[in-house]
Amino acid sequence: MPENRCLQGIWSSPWIFIFAAGGSAVGLGNIWKFPYVLGENGGGAFLMVYCLCLLAVGLPVLIAEVSLGRTVRSNPIDTVNDLSERNLLHSRWVLVPWLAGITGFLILTFYSVISGWSMAYLERAVAGKFASLDQGSAQGMFDALLNSPGEMLFWHSLFMFLVILTVGQSVTRGLSTLVRILLPALIIILLFLASYSMLVGNAGEAIDFLFRWSWEDLTFDVVLSAVGHALFSLSVGMGAMFAYGAYMSKRMSIARACAIVVGVDLLVALLAGLVIFPLVFAFQIDVEAGPSLTFVSLPIILGALPAGPFVGAIFFLLLVIAALTSAISMLELFVAWMHEKYYISRLQAATMLGGAVWFIGIAVLMSFADWDSKLMFGLNGFELLDKFTTLIMLPVVAILLSVLVAWALPRDMLQKELITQQVAHFQWWHNVLKYISIPVMVLITVAGWIGV
């Protein structure tokens, strides 16, 4: 297909695609979730398995999603329809991009609420509210936020406004401009914070915790968590990489670009660990504190440091930037589809979809306060949405998309997409996707469902 086939635009260089895909991958999953998941799963053993999962599962699936997006150079839904009309795929495969888009949409409904927490804590850090916090007052600060629907609604609304404003612009004016600024800024801030944390914290114990492991630490639960987090952190299964692949020039090497994206994702996760754990060990905070590690334990630490207010403001600014770069990709699939299908502007499409996300997000934030009742399986609205999307929809879409590319698409068509210019590399990717990535995802997903 010619370069001008894509109505949304084309990334101006391989690095813009890398910034966009890297920004999509790098989000709260790397900076908020990775440290506490690593802490809950023993440190070094989880990190070792996570790295292997990125290479054997994450990277092949990421390449598959991007390559499929570039085949027709259109939005994901029309791409599969086009391939079906050319008798290259069965028409039922169009279910995959629809599921991917719905998954990203639903995740954004609660992701925006958590991102709002980051904005709220940025305001608290700037106002110097972390000073002299102890465990009780830090927990009280977090509980006060969760029990204030009005404040959560304000930050949720502000965050979604920024997402809509960005996605509503063209690829070249909106996404490209934003990601080329935000992702480098995010990495620079992380490097600064990691250096500071290593200097004032317990660097030796943190490094030992992150990189030392024994065979006794390797359990099935650790493997299960590592595979799940590898898929979540790379944003595969939400259609974002599918859509971004459509804007990729035919001259770009998909394999090389995706490998760099995985490297950036791992780098950010490691830097986040080097920010959190030296301080956690220096202040003798429980590394298994879970999700509260960022919003309860960290403010206690920051309040006790000489430059705590400044460092706290920088850290929560980092969280907001990471959240924004991921969130804009979650709307992209359906915004691109509506723009091409109904010939409405991107801003109109983003406003309609973002408005729907904002509305559902109100129910999500209320589940922390007035509507905190257990709806099903002992879970409230937020917990149900979180479990349903991350444990069911994300892995199912990732598996279906991988099967579509590995087994349904013609092999010669994939080779023509210049996934890699090296035949041996193409062989490696295709075989790993078929015989390692897909079986591992199926095994881990089913095991997670039955609670093995």
- pLDDT of 249 reads 78
User: What is the C-alpha separation between 240 and 104, in angstroms, rounded?
Assistant: 8
Residue with tokens 């465990």: 135
- pLDDT of 123 reads 94
Reported confidence tier of residue 2, pLDDT bands at 50, 70, 90: very low
Which pair of tokens denotes residue 212?
A: 């030392």
Check if the beta carbon of residue 168 is closer than 8 Å to that of residue 350.
yes
Check if the beta carbon of residue 66 is closer than 8 Å to that of residue 248.
yes
Of 8 and 183, the structure prediction assigns the larger pLDDT to 183
Reported confidence tier of residue 400, pLDDT bands at 50, 70, 90: very high
User: What is the C-alpha separation between 124 and 142, in angstroms, rounded?
Assistant: 11
User: What is the C-alpha separation between 260 and 294, in angstroms, rounded?
Assistant: 28
- pLDDT of 1 reads 44
- pLDDT of 379 reads 76
Mean pLDDT, residues 56-63: 91
User: What is the C-alpha separation between 47 and 218, in angstroms, rounded?
Assistant: 11
Least confident of 17-21, 290-294, 398-402: 290-294
Q: How far apart are the first and last CA of the chain?
A: 46
Mean pLDDT, residues 102-113: 93
Distances, alpha carbon 311 to alpha carbons 170, 177, 201, 202, 324, in Å: 35, 27, 13, 17, 20
User: What is the C-alpha separation between 158 and 320, in angstroms, rounded?
Assistant: 11
Least confident of 72-81, 116-125, 167-176: 167-176
Distance from CA of residue 251 to its chain's centroid?
A: 27
- pLDDT of 418 reads 58
- pLDDT of 351 reads 97
Reported confidence tier of residue 282, pLDDT bands at 50, 70, 90: confident
The yes-or-no verdict on residue 206 having pLDDT over 80 is yes
Reported confidence tier of residue 230, pLDDT bands at 50, 70, 90: confident
Distance from CA of residue 223 to its chain's centroid?
A: 19
Residue with tokens 């399986």: 377
- pLDDT of 321 reads 86
- pLDDT of 186 reads 84
- pLDDT of 4 reads 46
The yes-or-no verdict on residue 51 having pLDDT over 60 is yes
- Which range of 12-21, 168-177, 198-207, 210-219 scores highest in mean pLDDT? It is 198-207
Distance from CA of residue 387 to its chain's centroid?
A: 15
Q: What is the pTM of this model?
A: 0.87
- pLDDT of 44 reads 87
The partner residues of 376 in beta bridges, in order of sequence, read: 379
Closest CA to 19 of 234, 264, 229: 264
Reported confidence tier of residue 75, pLDDT bands at 50, 70, 90: confident
Closest CA to 69 of 318, 267, 290, 236: 236
Residue with tokens 């914070």: 193
Report residue 253: phi and psi, to 5°.
Answer: -85, 115
Check if the beta carbon of residue 210 is closer than 8 Å to that of residue 47.
yes
Of 185 and 251, the structure prediction assigns the larger pLDDT to 185
Check if the beta carbon of residue 447 is closer than 8 Å to that of residue 224.
yes
User: What is the C-alpha separation between 424 and 283, in angstroms, rounded?
Assistant: 50
Reported confidence tier of residue 286, pLDDT bands at 50, 70, 90: confident
Which pair of tokens denotes residue 334?
A: 């359906």
The yes-or-no verdict on residue 52 having pLDDT over 70 is yes
Check if the beta carbon of residue 382 is closer than 8 Å to that of residue 152.
no
Rg of the chain, C-alpha, whole Å: 21
The yes-or-no verdict on residue 149 having pLDDT over 80 is yes
- pLDDT of 329 reads 84
Reported confidence tier of residue 8, pLDDT bands at 50, 70, 90: low
Which pair of tokens denotes residue 173?
A: 């004016």
What is the percentage of the chain residues whose pLDDT exceeds 90?
Answer: 29
Least confident of 37-41, 268-272, 326-330: 37-41
* Strand, helix or coil for residue 211: helix
User: What is the C-alpha separation between 166 and 2, in angstroms, rounded?
Assistant: 27
User: What is the C-alpha separation between 415 and 392, in angstroms, rounded?
Assistant: 31
Residues 6+ apart with CB under 8 A from 450: none
